[in-house]
Chain A
Amino acid sequence: MGLDIRWPIGLMFTLIGVLLVITSFSGGASPRLPGVNIDLIWGIVLLIFGIGMLAGAIAGKKQGPPK
């Protein structure tokens, strides 16, 4: 339909990624595994995913609507 679903997915996960990275600065370690700053690690993973989705959405927009 008219709305490319990659926009909301990309935005959502970029936002969550940013939030997780910010949280990781004030200690994002997992309670049981103190050496692993999971908020930071996963925040970056989500950022990459979200930005990747947004890139796909932008590319799709340039391509124009499907026939």
Chain B
Amino acid sequence: MQSVHLAWVDYTILIAYTVFVIGIGFALRKYLKSSSDFLTSGRSIPAWVTGLAFISANLGALEVVGMAASGAQYGVATAHFYWVGAIPAMLFLAVFMMPFYYGSKARSVPEYLNMRFDGRVRCFNSISFAIMTVFASGISMDALARMLSFLLPWKNEYNIGGHVFGSYDFYLIICSAIVLVYVLKGGLTSAIYTEVLQFFMIVLGFAPVVWLGLKEVGGWSTLKEKLSVVAQNPSALYLGDKAYNSGAWSHAWTPIIAGPEHNPMGVGVFPIVFGLGFVLSFGYWCTNFLVVQRAMAARNMSAARRTPLIAAVPKMLFPAIVILPGMVAVALAVMPGKDYRLPPVAISATKMSYAVADVKAAAPDNAPAAVEKIKADVGLGMDPAKLTAIIQANSTSALSDDDLKTKLQDAVTDTYYNGVTLSLIERYCPAGLLGLALTALLASFMSGMAGNVTAFNTIWTYDLYQAYLAPSKTDRHYFVVGQASTVVGIILSIFCAYFSSHYSNAMNVIQLVFGFVNAPLFATFLLGMFWARTTGTGAFYGLIIGTCTSALFHSLTIYTGGTPGLQGAYLWHFLGHSTIPASCILPSSMAQNFWLASFAFASCFIFTTGISLATARTKTDEELKGLVYSLTPKLKDDETHFLLRPPVLATILLVCCVILNIIFW
């Protein structure tokens, strides 16, 4: 994939977007009067805005790109991440949990935990969440800087104090600076407004690409036809060694119901419904402050409850924009004459130089040996036939270096799925639309950064600084601390971005650890909100044990094709077993993830219940009013039209979601 050529119009759109987001920040500056205005928007935003920001905060570019990647690898079953793995949880949040978050006047999720339990759970949650947001922001920054330096490379490099500053550094600093300016000036409101802008950019930027892709394939029924070709022979596209039924890419449920061996995801019904649909999904949507913060910024309780419901509508329809491109890509790849192949993983410059040297040094009559050497040096899957052809061609008449590089890159068989989105953008967008689509990607990365930074500065200021370090200062003091923590948050994210770019394995470790922490979390909230008997001690130790269960599960299991170590099952080695028992090998990493979540949730639930029953309650019923479902007077929704009442609206949306599942059964 070569860098794209941008025309003046594309640059104009990019720059216009940047000017607009900074402008929004400045325009909002004069409305910020208190720390609560800066950090929580002073609870003043209309429901449709918080609703779109809610969905947008979740929709980072990594998700946009990642969903297309999954769409290519798994077909329409990827929609489970939306229809099973998001909608039910969002509806539950709106109807049952928002009253507690909003009504308790808690300014953050950890603050709610403090009110409901005590400082221990709050402390654990705030620290783990604060660290996670900084890393999440850093990962977004890193991905953005890399994408920009790839697409629009900066030729100049500067050597400052021994470190070479090139495109990557330039883009990292510039994008961080832009986010810093508009968040510093406009606070959470600024982040929310730009998230809404980003939402429209993504929808309006990618919809034409998807439409053009579908048009080129020849419509939905042709798409299904081509997908059945893929399903019956995925190895032709290097998608794995198994073959599936013809409907595996175009049906969401039948391949899953058939069992883990019959779908590319390698999961059955239980892990999808319980692991993903319940534990992971509710765990994210109902407890993650990044999204809940947007709902808490709404102007009143009814707006707060409608926020996730409003968000659910685009969420249900998003698969058409983010997953469909992946499916279109694989369909195109099996259509001869379309001249499209899924983007291969790029060979790094260093390894490329070895490979080129290997080709030049190869003896044409001993091609297989040379092929093996090239494969070993590059470290990626490669097509031996193509490599042999390159060696033969080079021995007949020496090819130029550039020619060799192109051919070698083309011989790579490992697919870079995250590159599918960009490859389709390049394929279909003329100048103009190209600028829009790329700006949409840029917008979503930047708002991923901004969203995490605004969550970080609130958690830091209220749950860590005010709670433990400096409790009785003036509001002006906390306002300034809020702003300072924004700057610090961005700087820490920059460090994380550099860390992520050098030690991608370390980043995998960090994400793993946060997966461990998130998995049991929903059990704690569920018990806290719906069972008055849950005690602080029970919640705290239950959560710790649940997190340990995640780690234990991961250390004992692995998935087919994974290497023991970072991908699991390292404990067996320490226990003296050289082979892993078959019962501990799961069909795919997704299966491992979903089962891990299920076990961690169950363990946290059981231990929290048990320990709570064994310890005394520290809060009376009166103190828990407004924090526990059974002790809170039911909200009266009769001031609004029947169809707009949250429970009614939620039911309608649930029915729509079920209908979608049936259509793509």
Contact = CB atoms under 8 A, between A and B. Distances in A.
Given A19-B432, A31-B427, A38-B430, A5 B193 contact: yes
Given A33-B216, A46-B204, A3 B27 contact: yes
B9 A8 contact: no
B212 interface: yes
A32 B212 contact: yes
Name which of A19, A41, A43 has the most chain B CB atoms within 10 A of its CB: A19
A8 to B, nearest CB: 6
B430 A28 contact: yes
Q: Is the interface of B mostly helix, strand, loop or mixed?
A: helix
Nearest to A49: B204
B430 A39 contact: yes
A57 interface: no
B16 A1 contact: no
Contacts of B9: 19-20, 22-23
Interface in A2-24: 2-3, 5, 8-9, 11-13, 15-16, 19-20, 22-24
Given A1-B45, A3-B193, A8-B193, A33 B212 contact: yes
A32 B20 CA distance: 32
A29 interface: yes
A12 B194 CA distance: 12
A41 B204 CA distance: 12
A53 B306 CA distance: 22
Given A9-B200, A23-B431, A30 B28 contact: no
B196 A9 contact: yes
Interface in B159-209: 189, 193, 196-197, 200, 204, 208
B455 interface: no
Name which of A1, A3, A31, A33 has the most chain B CB atoms within 10 A of its CB: A1
Name which of A5, A15, A33 has the most chain B CB atoms within 10 A of its CB: A5
Contacts of B197: 5, 8-9, 12
B504 interface: no
Interface in B3-30: 7, 9, 12-13, 16-17, 20, 23-24, 27-28, 30
A2 B31 contact: yes
Contact of B24 (A3, A13, A19, A39): A3
Contacts of A19: 9, 12-13, 432, 435
B299 to A, nearest CB: 8
A55 interface: no
Contacts of B200: 9, 13, 49
A3 B429 CA distance: 34
Contact of A66 (B23, B46, B215, B216): B46
Contacts of B41: 1
Q: Is the interface of A mostly helix, strand, loop or mixed?
A: helix
B494 to A, nearest CB: 27
B385 to A, nearest CB: 28
Contacts of A42: 204, 208, 433, 436
B562 to A, nearest CB: 38
Contacts of A36: 212, 215
B573 to A, nearest CB: 51
A29 B208 CA distance: 12
Given A1-B189, A22-B9, A15 B215 contact: no
Given A1-B28, A5-B193, A9-B196, A15 B432 contact: no
Contacts of B427: 31-32
B44 interface: yes
Name which of B193, B197, B430 has the most chain A CB atoms within 10 A of its CB: B430
A32 B212 CA distance: 9
Nearest to B196: A5
B16 A16 contact: yes
B430 A27 contact: yes
Nearest to B200: A9
Interface in B309-342: none
B196 A12 contact: no
A1 B450 CA distance: 19
B49 interface: yes
Contacts of B46: 66
A20 B433 contact: yes
Contacts of B465: none
Nearest to B194: A8
Nearest to B53: A5
Contacts of B216: 32-33
Nearest to B193: A5
B629 interface: no
B218 to A, nearest CB: 11
B212 A15 contact: no
A33 B345 CA distance: 27
A1 B190 CA distance: 10
A39 B432 contact: yes
A20 B12 CA distance: 11
B267 to A, nearest CB: 35
Contact of A43 (B28, B31, B428, B432): B432
B584 to A, nearest CB: 47
Contacts of A2: 28, 30-31
A7 to B, nearest CB: 9
A66 B197 CA distance: 22
A37 B46 CA distance: 38
Contacts of A5: 49, 193, 196-197
Contact of B428 (A3, A9, A24, A31): A31
A9 to B, nearest CB: 6
Contacts of B7: 23
A30 B20 contact: no
Contacts of B193: 3, 5, 8
Given A1-B41, A28-B430, A30-B430, A11 B215 contact: no
Interface of A: 1-3, 5, 8-9, 11-13, 15-16, 19-20, 22-24, 27-33, 36, 38-39, 41-43, 45-46, 49, 66
Interface of B: 7, 9, 12-13, 16-17, 20, 23-24, 27-28, 30-31, 41-42, 44-46, 49, 189, 193, 196-197, 200, 204, 208, 212, 215-216, 299, 427-433, 435-436
- The list of the 5 closest CB pairs from A to B, nearest first, reads A23-B432, A39-B432, A2-B31, A20-B432, A23-B9
Given A30-B430, A45-B204, 11 more contacts: A2-B30, A19-B13, A20-B432, A23-B7, A23-B431, A23-B432, A28-B433, A31-B428, A32-B216, A33-B428, A38-B212
6 contacts: A1-B28, A20-B436, A30-B429, A31-B430, A38-B208, A39-B432
